[in-house]
A = this chain, B = another copy of it.
Amino acid sequence: MAGSSYGTLFRVTTWGESHGKAIGAVVDGCPAGLSLCEEDIQPFLDRRRPGQNRYTTARSESDQVEILSGVFEGKTTGTPISMIVYNKDQRSKDYSEIASYYRPGHADFCFDQKYGFRDYRGGGRSSGRETIGRVAAGAIASRVLKELGITLTAYTRSIGPVQCDPGRFQRKYIEKSSLYMPDPEAEEQAVRYLEECMKNRTSSGGVVECRAEHMRPGIGEPVFEKLDAALGKALFSIGAVKAVEIGDGTAVSAALGHENNDQFETGPNGKPQKATNHAGGILGGISDGSDLLVRVSFKPTPSVARPQTALFKDGSCREVSIRGRHDPVIVPRAVVVVESMTAITLLDLLLQNMSATMEHLHRIYS
């Protein structure tokens, strides 16, 4: 139990259900002296907000964040930052029907088996709205990292079978893209693919990629708190994720050792560097200073308009048609969630690394 907290030194606790009064997060351990206000957090929440285009749900939540504690005279005080977002558009009646059965592809059955009953309104705690707290916390973590010069970029790498072409990567296009894709051509294809999905009353999965630049080497703790292990946990904790990859990911299994090893070389500035980055910036669980690269596969939205065979509480299996507002794809809205979880994880391990050496201790305490 007690699974709603994440992180050791930078610790995020989220709370709230889809159709409860509010959703929120408490961020404890944010270093004091960071300039922070609601306007720093809202843009992150706006990126995950529904209703931004026709491929995301029509539910209109303004999702305005309010900071309740931990900031004084515009700066973080080092004490917990409590943030709240009220649920405005709840329409609980939409969901009353699903109380009696377990939907395929959803956590309904699992929650009932675990707890004996469940808050069935909109998925309750397992709703995608739970990520609001993560994103609010991620906005703060990103801000701390940015002060140190570390920047994160996340985007939709593929939707269904439609993949972005690295050769057409346009960083600036990501924010303009309704699907948060960096490749306008791929985006166009993806739009057509999603229209087809909607026509067929089905949904699509996809892949989100996140890159951290201007990394510091030395981040990550050997053995169980490796940077990649921590990222693995953080990213798999996002609903609908079925695979996490670092660097070349699954492709390494078929690679040859001498090719997969990133050789060293003397860079154009005369400084040594890695000639390639198959490792995605992590070796032995510790960052090597080159770009961090993670990739996350999301399954298709389980709520589809087709009839499906559900399990009823009486033990019978019968066809149901799920109504309500659902995304044909959640991937674009998940982009900022992946970025947020990466930022939180990176910051937490960066703080842990501060006590790695006696030399660091002397720098702080003498």
**Interchain CA distance A119-B257 in the complex, whole Å:** 24
Chain B residues closer than 8 Å to A236, beta-carbon distance: 226, 228-229, 231-233, 244, 246
Whether the pair B126, A284 counts as a contact (CB closer than 8 A) is yes
State whether B124 touches A72 (Cβ < 8 A). yes
Number of copies: 4
Restricting to A256-312, which residues have a CB under 8 Å from any CB of B? Answer: 256-266, 271-272, 275, 278-280, 283-289, 297-304, 306, 308-311
A234 nearest in chain B by CB position = B229
Structural contact, B69 and A20, CB atoms closer than 8 A = yes
Given pairs A160-B256, A204-B256, A205-B253, 8 additional interface contacts (CB within 8 A): A2-B8, A33-B115, A144-B358, A160-B254, A228-B236, A243-B253, A264-B310, A363-B363
> Per a CB cutoff under 8 Å, which of B69, B202, B234, B311 touches A257?
B202
Q: A28 to B11, alpha carbons, bound, how many Å?
A: 14
Q: Which of A262, A280, A298, A358 has the most CB of B within 10 A?
A: A358
For chain A, the count of residues having a C-beta within 8 Å of the partner chain is 171
Decide: A69 and B17 in contact? CB cutoff 8 A: yes
List residues of chain B with CB within 8 A of the CB of A253: 158, 160, 205-207, 243, 297-299
A254 to B309, CA, bound (A): 22
